[in-house]
């Protein structure tokens, strides 16, 4: 993302140029961005998971709060295997790094509004990431930041838009599946429940097999959200 720093000292030119780069290249980071990307991921993950827990608590289920998950502290949401070891192993194997936070627990029997309550819990996380991206974009567009700081904001925006788009894929147990489940007919709900019961490895297999097929759609949505925020 070194392209983002040649903005000529103008905040207007900076975010307009950055929008074009993100649109043309997608979410591609340079090796030197690794620390900023890691911090952005941890912060975004903390907000994402905390909002799942907060929404569940607001809807009547205190399970997540009792387990210490109603917090912005990202360390409380890290799973050693899926958050740390999995992406490292995939990188060593030359594959795209994929990670997942520790799932936020909730009891559907205690949540108001049945499937619709569960859907609210599910979409609360990715919608929070979209909100963070919007706030960061508004700040970037309205404040004359240094090029270095603008670059950090752009990484934060890119990470949060990526969180939003990926997590809204309606495939169990990704967050978007909760929304689909609330409106799907019962036969489809049964199939989705069976898939979700297979756990994270199913999602990993799905990603490896189907992401190449659906990546043009994901990429299209990602790029157009970026251009809408920054262009």
Which residues participate in catalysis according to the annotation? 49
Burial of 159 (0-12, 13-18, 19+ CB in 10 A): buried
Helix and strand tally (H, E) in the chain? Answer: 9, 0
Calpha distance 112→59 (Å, rounded): 5
Q: Give the closest residue to 140 by CA, choosing from 224, 230, 200.
A: 230
Contact 53, 69 (CB under 8 A): yes
**Could you tell me the end-to-end alpha-carbon distance of the chain, in angstroms, rounded to an integer?**
17
- Residue identified by tokens 């689909």 is 180
Q: Beta strands of 90-174 (E only): which ranges?
A: none
Give Cα separations from 42 to 10, 34, 47, 198 (angstroms): 30, 12, 9, 27
Four-CA torsion 3, 41, 26, 225, nearest 10 degrees: -110
Q: What secondary structure letter does DSSP report for 3?
A: G
């Amino acid at each position: 993302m070194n392209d983002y720093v040649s903005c000529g000292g103008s905040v207007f030119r900076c975010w307009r140029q950055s929008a074009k780069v993100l649109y043309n290249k997608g979410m591609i980071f340079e090796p030197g961005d690794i620390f900023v990307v890691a911090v952005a991921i941890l912060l975004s993950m903390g907000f994402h998971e905390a909002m799942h827990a907060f929404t569940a608590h607001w809807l009547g289920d205190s399970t997540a709060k009792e387990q210490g998950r109603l917090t912005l502290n990202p360390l409380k949401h890290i799973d050693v295997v899926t958050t740390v070891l999995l992406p490292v192993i995939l990188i060593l194997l030359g594959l795209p790094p994929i990670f997942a936070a520790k799932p936020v627990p909730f009891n559907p029997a205690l949540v108001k509004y049945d499937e619709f309550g569960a859907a609210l819990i599910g979409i609360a996380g990715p919608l929070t990431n979209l909100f963070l991206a919007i706030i960061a974009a508004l700040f970037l567009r309205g404040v004359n930041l240094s090029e270095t700081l603008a670059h950090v904001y752009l990484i934060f925006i890119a990470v949060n838009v990526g969180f939003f788009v990926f997590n809204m894929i309606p495939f169990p147990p990704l967050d978007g599946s909760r929304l689909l489940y609330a409106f799907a007919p019962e036969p489809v709900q049964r199939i989705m429940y069976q898939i979700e019961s297979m756990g994270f490895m199913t999602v990993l297999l799905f990603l490896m097999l189907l992401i190449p097929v659906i990546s043009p759609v994901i990429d299209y949505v990602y790029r157009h959200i970026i251009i809408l925020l920054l262009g």
